[in-house]
């Protein structure tokens, strides 16, 4: 089964994708991981992507979709996989459908994580990260046991990432909505979209995902 998770930054789709991956033995695919792998191995696609990135330009959709096409031909994707955060635009979705059709495959289900804007801002701006070990905390929902001290490694001085500042968060959400609104309609027309409330506790969200992907 081929699953796509759609959701704004902070909606929890990455964490839930890992949970579903573990439960169903479907790999969770990340375009970021693909970029890193292709660039580190200096593949043709990696060098193409790097040439744009070095100039500060966006990597063309054709290169990104080709990377996805290469990845899903791996044996671990035979029974299904989860795409988290891709596609981001309608042209990417159309190109992905075309690539999958050439493999006699197709997207089976698209799970849309619905959540209010105010909750997303609260979640993202409250996030703090340990600069030493990378552990993530939250000022409301996952406080460190000792204020400003990492539970995992004891480092003092948890940091707010630049892209978790309020002004940046609002901009990220605006970009997401401009890109994703057309995708919602695209998959609705195909009868593949399932909406779930992401403003529930973790287990409740996961139960809804299991139901939506069964």
To the query of whether residue 207 is one of the catalytic residues in this protein, the response is no
Percent helix, strand and coil across the chain, each to the nearest 5: 50, 15, 35
To the query of whether residue 172 is one of the catalytic residues in this protein, the response is yes
* Angle, helix 166-189 to helix 90-102, in steps of 10 degrees: 50
Q: For the residues of 104-151, what is the DSSP string, one character each?
A: T----EEEEEE--HHHHHHHHHTEEE-TTT--EEETTTB--SBTTB-T
Q: Which of 88, 122, 132, 194 is catalytic?
A: 88
Q: Which of 159, 161, 177, 207 is catalytic?
A: 161
Q: Which of 13, 71, 109, 123 is catalytic?
A: 13
Alpha carbon distance 188, 35 (integer Å): 29
To the query of whether residue 127 is one of the catalytic residues in this protein, the response is yes
Alpha carbon distance 51, 31 (integer Å): 17
Cross-strand bridge partners of residue 43: none
Q: Which of 71, 109, 123, 127 is catalytic?
A: 127
Q: Are 26 and 80 in contact (CB under 8 A)?
A: yes
Q: Are 30 and 84 in contact (CB under 8 A)?
A: yes
Q: Which of 48, 50, 122, 172 is catalytic?
A: 172
Alpha carbon distance 105, 1 (integer Å): 9
| Residues carrying an active site annotation | 13, 88, 127, 161, 172
């Amino acid at each position: 089964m081929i699953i796509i998770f759609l959701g704004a930054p902070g909606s929890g789709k990455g964490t839930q994708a890992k949970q579903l991956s573990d439960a169903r033995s479907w790999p969770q695919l990340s375009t970021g991981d693909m970029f890193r792998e292709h660039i580190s191995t200096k593949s043709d696609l990696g060098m193409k992507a790097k040439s744009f990135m070095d100039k500060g330009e966006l990597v063309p959709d054709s290169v990104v979709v080709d990377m996805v096409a290469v990845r899903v031909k791996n044996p671990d994707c035979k029974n299904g996989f989860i795409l988290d955060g891709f596609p981001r635009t309608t042209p990417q979705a159309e190109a992905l459908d075309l690539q999958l059709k050439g493999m006699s495959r197709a997207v089976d289900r698209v799970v849309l994580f619905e959540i209010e804007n105010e909750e997303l801002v609260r979640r993202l701006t409250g996030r703090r990260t340990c600069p030493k070990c990378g552990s993530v905390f939250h000022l409301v929902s996952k406080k460190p046991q000792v204020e400003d001290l990492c539970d995992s490694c004891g480092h003092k001085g948890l940091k707010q990432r630049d892209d978790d500042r309020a002004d940046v968060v609002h901009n990220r959400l605006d970009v997401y909505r401009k890109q994703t609104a057309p995708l919602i309609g695209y998959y609705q027309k195909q009868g593949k979209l399932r909406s779930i409330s992401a403003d529930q506790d973790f287990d409740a969200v996961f139960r809804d995902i299991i139901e939506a992907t069964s």
